[in-house]
Every structure is written in structure tokens, then in C-alpha cells.
Structure 1
């Protein structure tokens, strides 16, 4: 192996190390986190000065959830990387994260305030006891005048009343402060208990001819991290475009805070296999209990062979001296502006978002919102109503141009006219060129659906019976502007050729023969009312009973 101060990439190795190697412990500084949907790839940097000979450099602040097979190490310096190993340290605690230190500081301040209140309470109680003791002494003074006794009684009454009121208020403050102390103490204990978990260590074996400084770049994948998209959709009014803000709920529970790191969000899922599955031959035969029993007896014999195959494959990968050098993809360009200018990198198999500003993600498992991108999208608006099921109209936005934003399925918080109106769902499987989102109810569109009793009847013609039904839908627009309104209703659909359903009057409705759905599209002026009437008949054999 040549000694070259080059950038070397080394995968996890199981090379035997010399017993005389010196051990040097350092901590790596986390620089970048690429967060996938269910895990993350971390990039860290460590520097050290090593002596001549062989040195085992221990990076002792790696998460225990590190995937050993994902570790990559590159280096700069006049040294050679001989091997990389990952191990778990069950003895040492993880470093105390800054978030836990802040909690501990808050607990100490809160506990000091609680103890100060206890001191104030003790002083007041001592004062009350002193006054009561002095009262007993003064009461034995036979020479006291009536005026002196009255003044003394007034003093006792006023002061004891004041002390009692102060103690009452103080006890309330003590109770509330004790609750704060208990909550913070429980939080600190919960966070501190996580430090009891084992930590990971990455051991890099280096050789150098002379004392030299080295710089190592590490990359590895960890579990207990991920992100999911959420959206804010804001509509000022029905004449304005829709504003869509994509945010990411980023979480991590690796045991180490990610302090001020460059963040990249990726839609890739490393847990899924990257190769297309292969179809195996699907055989069909007759069932034979003897053959089945034979397989049951021989199945355990196949297990050792499978295990040996797996070990042989692993040994081949690790020991192949002709294995190709693996070089990771170049990092994306640094961004210096706000998240409005987040760069979306469209790759052949996934999309990644380079977040413009550094973020700190605490190791508490709680989602933290990260701004990803915002956009103004063309939108048309219409009201939809189904009076048979709900008397309220719902405003929906038909948004176009969304397919250029690399969106994912997720929850959307809807704001209309400056007010939060509820949550909807961005479902890309249902969307085509237009993304439909509900903007909530509008009670200023009034609807009433009623059955027309004098039309409903049952008549018999020969061997058939005929049921007639009629409904009236009354609609009124009480808004100050015109609205486009889509009205839905339905008539039954026959599942038997002997039952015939006929729409006799639809008031211009469009009918879907497969579902029986009726659709009207109306334009209502401010204050305008309109009535829709539809009638249908159901014909079926006499003597039969139909269900609907």
C-alpha cells in the first residue's frame, strides 16, 4: 500500500490490528445531516495529531444506532487508513447535550426559588409564634391599663391577620412552585435516563512515518430519525391565488443533539431494496400430504447452508482486494438565504431539499418544524353542497401547478380569510392535473331539502308496481358576492334487472348511471334563491319488497 496524502474512502473492515498501536480518543463535529423519511445520513469531521507508527483513533461520540455497514471514512494528511471498525460502548454515558443542560439550569433556578419561598414561610411562622408567646407574657401583667390592653389586642389582631394572609398566599405560591420543580425534575430524569443507553465508537486505524496532523471526514447512517411533510394552505379570498407552504416535521432520537447543522431532506427510503424484485417460477401441483410432511422434516437442514452462504458472501465483500473504490456523491452547494430559496434537487430516484439555513435538532424525538418551500399557485374556487347529508356548503379550491413542487402525501392546515378552518389531506394518488382541497364550511350558503309528499305514491299496473318519489332542494346565497355552486344528490341504482329506476325529472341535472349521482352546477348572485326539483320512479314486480 503506497503512502499518499490522498482522499481515501474505506468501508467497514475487520482487519486485525497490531497490539502495539497507540489509542487516541477524539470527538467528531457534526456538519451535515441528510434526513430520509425513516433514518438519516450524518456527515462529521474529526481532526487529530498522531505520532509515527500505528494509531487507533477512537471517535467516541457516534450514535449507538449507527449502521456499521454504512460507515465511510475519508482522510487528508500524511498517513494511511488501514481499517475502520464500529463498536458499542456500554460503560460510558453519552455526552450531556445542550438541551439537557438548559433543562438542568432551569431546574436549579426553579428549585432555588422554591427554597426561598420555604424560607419566607418559616420566617412568618416564627414571627407568629413570637407574637403568640409575647401575648402570654403580656397577659400576666396585672398593672396594664385598659387602653394598653386594647392597643395590644389591636396590634395582635392586625399583625396576626396580616401574617395569616401572607402565609395563605405564600402556601399557594409554594404549591405552584413545587409543581414546576416536579415537572422539570421529571423531564431532566427522563432525558438523563436516555444517556444510560450505550454509545457508539468508530475506530479508525492509521499509520504514519512521522508525527503528522490528519483530518477525517466520516459518513454513516443512523436509525431513530426521519421527517414527514405538512402543509399550510392560505387563501385570502376567492379572487386570489392559493399560498402553499411546505414544512417538514423533523425528528431524531440518536442520543446526540444536532447543533447548527446543514440540513438536507430527502424523499428516498434507504430501508427499501434498491433493486427490482425478480419473479420466481410459480409451480402448481396436486396436494400430497406425504410430500408436505417430507418438506417439514427436511426444512431445518437447509438453515446451516443458508447461514454459510451469507457468511461466504460477507467474507468475499470484505476481503476482496480488487473491490472498487466507493466515492460518495458531491455535496450540494451551500445556501445562504432563508428557506424561501430552498433548493430542490431532482434526482433519478428521489427528490432532496437543501435547507438554506442551519438548524439545531434536539435528541428528544419531538418533531421540529423546518420551512422547506413556499409558492403562489393558481386556483379556482367553487362551493359544493350535498343537502341529503349536510345542509352546509363547503368551499373547495382547485389548485393547478402543484406537480412542479415535488410534493408528498401529508396533512394540510387550511386558512381562509385569515382564519384557521380545519385540516385536509394532500393525497397525490387522487390528484391529477388539479389538486382539490376543502377550505371548510360556509353557513352563508343556505340549503333545504324536503320530500314532496303529494307526489310520492305507489301504483299498480298489471303485474308491476310503480313507486314515485320527488324532492325539492331550495338554495340561497346570503354572501355579498356571486358564487359558483355545485349541488349533489342521488337516485337509487338497481342491482336486479327486474327493478327499473327511471329519472322522470332532473331539473337539468347530470346523472351518472353507474352511481345514480345527480350533479347541478349553478351560479347564484348575492341574495339570490333557486329551487331544484327531481323526480324518479322505481318499477318492480308486484308482490315483491324492495330495499333501499
Structure 2
């Protein structure tokens, strides 16, 4: 008996513990809050979503469902912080299907349904009026005087009765026609609205709600503040510019813009944006060098990082690989060049923005600044007989520029595009502002400098050219003119300059450079020539 009682007591103890756990599990308080971003830091690839949320919690364990999250976020990036009286026990990211019957209909569909209810009411009301009038018509049409009454009635009384009959029956039937016309119009409107509802119903499908589930432990009952930060890769931005100038004595007006896109699955509405040049996707592991071996293998040398280097002797080339330039592509749409080798800069537009989740570019102006610049012209008549206006910007590092496309405007007229490339190591940044047809250029052969002479074992060929540049502008201009002569890579081929007209000579590259000032309306000439001495065979 004692053994049986002991067994019963153990069973009761287990049941008590189980019931306590059961009550504890089902006493967890569940709260749903909408995950609406307040501030979004957009990187050139990805974005950090910051949200300030409120939740009503109970003392003990609470499960917080943060709904309407982007379709893809990095679960490891979820950071949820609370006040001193609560602590975050765990977070998770999941997707749930929302049944059609639980979905909240759009406002326009709710308005359509209300309009349908109103039309149905009006149609019933009109039908009631028609029924009443038809009854009255039937009653008047079926009215007959009693024979004794008819014998005693005078001609005047019978005439008045007939007139009333004609008048009232005509009125009734006109009113019925009017009501029927109204019903016809109401019916057409009803068909049109029901068609729209049917189209909406045909497109309805089970929606997917992406949510963060957080388990919180609270010491109090009441409202608490939550701060959520998480990262999504489905957004980004690329820089572009507008350059405006009036003349070659005025500063450049530089407009720094950003093309922002996002495809998170949720539209951003009235959010504060921060545009950052930082790249959170970069590998944070420090680089490690490995031995780089060179070996002969089948008369071929291939080289790759941390693998043998090979040489293709028949082709006289070394083949290898280099880092590719990154071009941002979203849904097959090229958004621009992305380069993250520069210092981190953040731009904080003053306005709030709404950006749809459609991966389409939305232009945002970040800054406008007058940039002091000096202007000069550049030409390479061998390649192009147009002169190009170039703006040179000194101390350009403080502008925090990134590589990007720029649209050029002269006196608010669009004249073309150029690329801004801050990778230059020069003291000044050169920006091509396009062609200037006011500068006329020619490159022609000088006949008396061009000849060929044959000797016993070699041939000497001489070439001569003259470059003319005319300034049709109303002011003096500075111009850099470049041309070239061949550079020998064989000991039996010799190249000698005959004439340079005072050019700066780069013998290693074979470049000739003249820096000239051309007064308004004037023309300058620069001659150069060279001869090539090579074997006959």
C-alpha cells in the first residue's frame, strides 16, 4: 500500500511540473507590429533598415512578430535592442502565407464594393416605385362606375372622369418610363463595377508575409520601445553628375546626384535616406600572400594567383587575369559603375523620399556647389580633328567624388555626356566638357618632307606633317596639342625626329606635345617630321 501511494505521489509530481510548463508555454504574450523603416542607409550594394517600434508587452515571456519585412534580409544582421526592463532572448526570420480571406482589401476596392451596395439599393428603390405606379395604373384602368351611378351621372361628370383618367394614366406611364431609364443606367454602372471587382478577384492570391520573430522577457506590463536594425542586399545606388557652365571664365556648377533603386518587396514611404560609399559586402579577412612559383610546362607558362606561371613561347605573350570592373545590374538593367576603393563618405539628403520596390532608378540631388576651374583645350588631330574643352579642377579631393557619368549643360542646354574619374593622381582633375567647333583644326602631309630613299641594304622613309589650329572665339585660348611618332622595338630599325617645332618629346612613348596660346581670330602652325631607317628585307 505504501509503495502504491509513493507511486501515485510521483505521478502527481510529474503532472504538476508538466502542467506548470504547459501553463507557462500558453501564457506567452503575442504581439504583432508593422516593420516600417524610419531611416535607411543605402550602400552602393545593399541597405541597412532602421526601425523605431512600439509594442505592448506583459510581464514574463513575449513573442513579438515584426511583420511586412523585406523578402530577403541577412538573418545574421538582425539587431534588436530594448529598454532596461526587457531583454531579447532570441530572433528569427521567416515567411508565412496570408490566406486570401484574411487579406485587407485596397481602399479603391472597398470603395467599389460600397458603390455596388448603393447601386443595388437604388435599383430596389426604383423597382418599388415602379411597382406602386403599376398598381395605381391597374387600379385606374380597372375602375368601372356602378350601372345605377352611371345612369345618374351628368355629361359633365363623365367628361371630367375621362379627363382625369387620361391625365393620370399618362403621368403614371411617363414616371414608369423615367424610372426604367434610371434602372437601365444603374444596371450599366453595376455591370461596370462588378467587372472591376471580378478582375480584382481574379488577381488575388495568397500573399507572403516576411517577419522577424523576437522572443522578449519583460519585467513589467506596458508599452516598450524597440530599435531594429537589419541589412538587405536588395537595394543600392550609383553616383552621377550634372555639370553646368556659362563660359570659360565662370566656375562650374557641379550637381552631385544619386540613382537609388530597391527591390526589397516593400515600398519605402517617406523615409530618411543616408547614402554611403561604404561597402558592407567586402571580405573583412586580412589578405595572405602565398608563394608564386614559375615553372616550364609544355613550353607554356600560365599564371594565376597562388598557382604556377606559364609562358606561351609561340605567342610571345603572358596570359593572366585581373580584377573585373563591377557594373551594377538589376533585372538586366545596367545602373552604372560601382567602385568601392575610396574613403567612406555619407550623404544625408534633407528631404524624405518614397521609393517603390521595382528596381527602377530614382534620381536624388545630394549637393550643388560652384567649383573653381581653369579651362583649356585639348586636341589629337591624328585621331580627331575637333578640339575638346577641358576643365581642370584643383583641390578636387575635398569634393568626395566617385567614378560616374556626368551630363553637361552649356547655358542650360544639354550638350553631351562625359565620365568623371577621380582615380587620377594628378594635382588637378581634368573633366572633358565636349567639342568646340569654334576651334578649326587640320593635319596635313608636308610634301617636301615626305620621301623614300633606297640604299644597298636598307630603306629610309621620311614623313612630315603640319598641324594648323585657328581660334574663331572672341578671346584667347590655351591649347594642348598632341601627336606621335613611331617607337622602334627592334635594334635594326631606327627612328629619328627631323622636326618638332619646339614640342615636348617623350621618346619612350613616341609622344609630341605642344602647349600654346592662340589669340582670338589667329591661326598657329606646328610642323613635325621623322624618318625610319630599316632593312630592305
Q: TM-score, normalised by structure 1?
A: 0.64
> 1:382 and 1:283 mapped to 2: Cα distance?
49
CA contact (8 A) 1:39 1:225 kept: yes
Choose which of 486, 496, 499 in structure 1 pairs with 2:490. 496
> 1:262 and 1:281 mapped to 2: Cα distance?
49
> 2:392 and 2:103 mapped to 1: Cα distance?
50
1:461 deviates by: 4.3
Instruction: Give per-residue Cα distances to partners, 1:314-357, cap 9 Å, x unaligned.
Output: xxxxxxxxxxxxxxxxxxxxxxxxxxxxxxxxxx9622222222
Instruction: Give per-residue Cα distances to partners, 1:27-52, cap 9 Å, x unaligned.
Output: 13321001111100011122122234
**1:264-279 matches, cutoff 5 A:** 264-279=274-289
Distance 1:34 1:412, change over 3 A: same
Equivalent residue, structure 1, for 2:45: 38
1:409 equivalent in alignment to 2:416: no
Distance 1:232 1:284, change over 3 A: closer
Equivalent residue, structure 1, for 2:454: 460
> 1:349 and 1:248 mapped to 2: Cα distance?
17
Equivalent residue, structure 2, for 1:350: 344
Distance 1:22 1:285, change over 3 A: farther
1:218 equivalent in alignment to 2:228: yes
Equivalent residue, structure 1, for 2:372: 378
Equivalent residue, structure 1, for 2:362: 368
1:249 equivalent in alignment to 2:259: yes
1:29 partner SS:
coil
1:62 partner SS:
coil
> 1:469 and 1:283 mapped to 2: Cα distance?
47
**1:461-476 matches, cutoff 5 A:** 461-476=455-470
1:377 deviates by: 1.9
CA contact (8 A) 1:77 1:213 kept: no
> 1:377 and 1:96 mapped to 2: Cα distance?
54
Distance 1:83 1:442, change over 3 A: same
Equivalent residue, structure 1, for 2:211: 201
Cα RMSD, aligned residues only? 3.2
1:30 partner SS:
coil
1:71 equivalent in alignment to 2:78: yes
CA contact (8 A) 1:68 1:86 kept: yes
1:472 partner SS:
strand
CA contact (8 A) 1:416 1:439 kept: no
Structure 1 residue ranges, 4+ long, deviating more than 6 angstroms after superposition: 281-287
> 2:106 and 2:436 mapped to 1: Cα distance?
49
Distance 1:426 1:505, change over 3 A: same
CA contact (8 A) 2:43 2:237 kept: yes
Distance 1:531 1:209, change over 3 A: closer
Q: TM-score, normalised by structure 2?
A: 0.65
1:454 deviates by: 3.6
1:78 deviates by: 4.1
1:82 deviates by: 2.5
Equivalent residue, structure 1, for 2:419: 425
Equivalent residue, structure 2, for 1:85: 92
Runs (5+) with no aligned partner, structure 2: 1-23, 113-198, 298-341
1:415 deviates by: 1.9
Q: Bigger radius of gyration, 1 or 2?
A: 2
1:63 deviates by: 1.1
1:283 deviates by: 8.4
1:445 deviates by: 0.7
> 2:349 and 2:524 mapped to 1: Cα distance?
52
Distance 1:96 1:31, change over 3 A: farther
> 2:357 and 2:346 mapped to 1: Cα distance?
23
Equivalent residue, structure 1, for 2:534: 540
CA contact (8 A) 2:45 2:233 kept: yes
Instruction: Give per-residue Cα distances to partners, 1:45-94, cap 9 Å, x unaligned.
Output: 2212223432211111111211111111112374443322221224469x
Distance 1:258 1:77, change over 3 A: farther
CA contact (8 A) 2:98 2:207 kept: no
Equivalent residue, structure 2, for 1:61: 68
Equivalent residue, structure 1, for 2:250: 240
CA contact (8 A) 2:43 2:276 kept: yes
